[in-house]
Structure 1
């Protein structure tokens, strides 16, 4: 069965956008609306490759769809260029949340690198404050309209710069005022967490949450350093942990019976075992992983993405969009992709969503409320007389 056949083979009786979602890995500078980029670029005289919104959106997707993380990151030159003033940051942050709400997100964490938004004289604190104002404007409006929404900021230090300690201090200054976590971003290969040890030590001393991009462009050593040096409570992407998993086909089970051709015994190496046994959440972004080549070792296309292997072997998998502009995706789109590729049902989507809710960088009480809200929604959907599991299943089978 071809992937084109998969994409047209089923018709669920609900709208994926209606499902309540939690977004943990979503870059602010990767989620702008094309028209907003055009508007802001015109104000500052920044030249764009396209001047029509639809064409510009397609340019971002095609440029990012190269199989290279380096080329993928180059597309951010245009989005960052138009995010250099207070008003621009407020607008981008406000629209970012509005777009999340349109996709059914009820809790999200938005990450960005404050050091990249200082070309027009804003201080690091100015940047954080402006973005928080935009987030607050959107959340207040949405909550007043009956759509529950809460957003936390994750400030990122760029791997190739020397400002990680300063950014860590920035995160601590804004703790309790919108910032909920710290991250490192940018080119992963060649810039390991060990280069930012002082910043991670400072955050650990202050018991501040970290999530670290690891296991995307670099492999198992990157994941190991994220855990040992970054004290990562979550792994950004982390999909290459699957390189530490071996499957032995044609093996003998515990009863001495030979396993079928499509069943194998799974053996975990030390890194994979550590991540799974401790339930460290993986912030998996399927479409982005395919674009950047993070999962190239496992084969081409979504059906060869190791996400299903990670789910089936008990890893704590969550789903996020990474960069909605570059990947032209949403969490709803990612859910639909997984349903089509792996025949996931509502129970599977619920599990992935609850994993994300329980991994959120918010107090326990808030996580419990998120879990309760999500469970209640799915219970009502699963109990609906109009919901027919047989109709939901992939008819291509």
Structure 2
């Protein structure tokens, strides 16, 4: 008689997570440049930088971004945006952005950026969008030549402090057949509520064009409520301040008059928190960035006190994202390792975050199902055997019946 051998799934810390397919929904184009590229483009553009070498420049960005305030964090973009003012430069940055995603094992990404910030070199809004799309397309083609598959969509973003939201909304819809998958507003959250842009969001909803809204980062529950009501938000950019609408009581007495255990707590969700959770509105959480900008300072300002674990345990649709890979000095893989180390997450839990992202992606249902199947198949193989494949991620599940690669390769949606 042979004794059965029980297999225990490996720890994520013992797995090459970069080899597993992942989805990134909150990743800024102007926050993901390579330091060496910034140096080259700055020399061409005649822009002065605070450092002369790639290593020193990377250190400067990280140091500045770790100031603890969103305002100081946003100042670092003065240098990246300055070198992204021509079609040639935008094309290169977008191509390298995709190449870096592929190296990180990302198979679907939505890259957000604000075309209105890239017109100083004489480009029109449409020319800027076209230049970025050309770079994304080249990066995708290069990945396919290397045997990997990735799809990247643009989230066209309007800056909250400006008054161009309707113009940018129309720009996004004009390019919906050429790479644009959604709309966003970004920039200073406090003082610039989504209600200022109600007309644009209402018009987008009439066009059936999806929106995600930066909310619940530097401002609280009122900002999130506004994003849901006036912004028609299908996702919340960051959204971590939804925790402000959650009450947790330890050593408490429940409704039956019994004291809860020492390892338990009573949790009460406010109306907004309950709505976000119960309707499955995705939170685009960016752990390292949240620490840098002070978004979770009220919760202790450390990874271990970040409300992400509470939100995950309570059933919110949490997704994990890098936000700005240059400023935070992280990749999506890095963020997953960080959470696994701090909270002891299993591979199954990290897979849950990826499945949440697949469900929340601005893609048709059929394509989201393809992504989910791919994630379950590839992550499930590692969970059951402990083995990861070598080389680039090859997504055979993304090949349709006509032999075209990528979800929606023949997408002719309106």
Bin for the TM-score computed over the shorter chain: over 0.9
SS in 2 for 1:121: coil
After TM superposition, give the deviation of residue 256 of structure 1 in Å.
5.6
Whether 1:105 and 2:106 are equivalent positions in the alignment is: yes
Structure 2 partner of 1:293: 294
In structure 2, C-alpha distance between the alignment counterparts of 1:333 and 1:345, rounded to whole Å: 15
Structure 2 partner of 1:63: 64
Distance 1:101 1:249, change over 3 A: same
In structure 2, C-alpha distance between the alignment counterparts of 1:341 and 1:23, rounded to whole Å: 21
In structure 1, C-alpha distance between the alignment counterparts of 2:301 and 2:107, rounded to whole Å: 33
After TM superposition, give the deviation of residue 365 of structure 1 in Å.
1.4
Task: Trace 1:253-332 onto structure 2 (pairs within 5 A).
Answer: 253=254, 257-332=258-333
Structure 2 partner of 1:73: 74
Structure 2 partner of 1:4: none
After TM superposition, give the deviation of residue 197 of structure 1 in Å.
1.2
In structure 2, C-alpha distance between the alignment counterparts of 1:193 and 1:11, rounded to whole Å: 38
Structure 2 partner of 1:204: 205
Distance 1:386 1:157, change over 3 A: closer
Distance 1:274 1:11, change over 3 A: closer
In structure 2, C-alpha distance between the alignment counterparts of 1:235 and 1:350, rounded to whole Å: 20
Structure 1 partner of 2:235: 234
Structure 1 partner of 2:365: 364
In structure 1, C-alpha distance between the alignment counterparts of 2:177 and 2:247, rounded to whole Å: 43
Distance 1:385 1:226, change over 3 A: closer
In structure 2, C-alpha distance between the alignment counterparts of 1:383 and 1:346, rounded to whole Å: 10
Structure 2 partner of 1:175: 176
In structure 1, C-alpha distance between the alignment counterparts of 2:21 and 2:97, rounded to whole Å: 17
Structure 2 partner of 1:185: 186
Query: CA contact under 8 A between 2:246 and 2:267: conserved in structure 1?
Result: yes
In structure 1, C-alpha distance between the alignment counterparts of 2:363 and 2:386, rounded to whole Å: 35
> How many residues matched?
378
In structure 2, C-alpha distance between the alignment counterparts of 1:386 and 1:114, rounded to whole Å: 42
Per the normalisation by structure 2, the TM-score is 0.89
Distance 1:255 1:380, change over 3 A: farther
In structure 2, C-alpha distance between the alignment counterparts of 1:282 and 1:386, rounded to whole Å: 30
After TM superposition, give the deviation of residue 254 of structure 1 in Å.
6.6
SS in 2 for 1:148: coil
Per the normalisation by structure 1, the TM-score is 0.93
SS in 1 for 2:14: coil
Query: CA contact under 8 A between 2:157 and 2:186: conserved in structure 1?
Result: yes
Distance 1:102 1:285, change over 3 A: same
After TM superposition, give the deviation of residue 13 of structure 1 in Å.
2.4
Deviations 1:309-346 (A, max 9, x none): 00000100000000000000011111011011110010
After TM superposition, give the deviation of residue 253 of structure 1 in Å.
4.7
Deviations 1:230-288 (A, max 9, x none): 00000000000001001111123577642222310110001101101101000000000
In structure 1, C-alpha distance between the alignment counterparts of 2:386 and 2:17, rounded to whole Å: 18
Distance 1:98 1:385, change over 3 A: closer
Stretches of structure 1 that go unaligned for 5 or more consecutive residues are 1-9, 388-397
Query: CA contact under 8 A between 2:217 and 2:295: conserved in structure 1?
Result: yes
After TM superposition, give the deviation of residue 225 of structure 1 in Å.
0.5
Question: Which shows bigger deviation, 193-202 or 319-328?
Answer: 193-202
SS in 2 for 1:108: strand
Distance 1:385 1:247, change over 3 A: closer
After TM superposition, give the deviation of residue 348 of structure 1 in Å.
0.4
Structure 2 partner of 1:393: none
In structure 1, C-alpha distance between the alignment counterparts of 2:12 and 2:356, rounded to whole Å: 26
Stretches of structure 2 that go unaligned for 5 or more consecutive residues are 1-10, 389-414
After TM superposition, give the deviation of residue 11 of structure 1 in Å.
8.0
Task: Trace 1:367-382 onto structure 2 (pairs within 5 A).
Answer: 367-382=368-383
After TM superposition, give the deviation of residue 80 of structure 1 in Å.
0.1
In structure 1, C-alpha distance between the alignment counterparts of 2:12 and 2:274, rounded to whole Å: 37
Task: Trace 1:27-66 onto structure 2 (pairs within 5 A).
Answer: 27-66=28-67
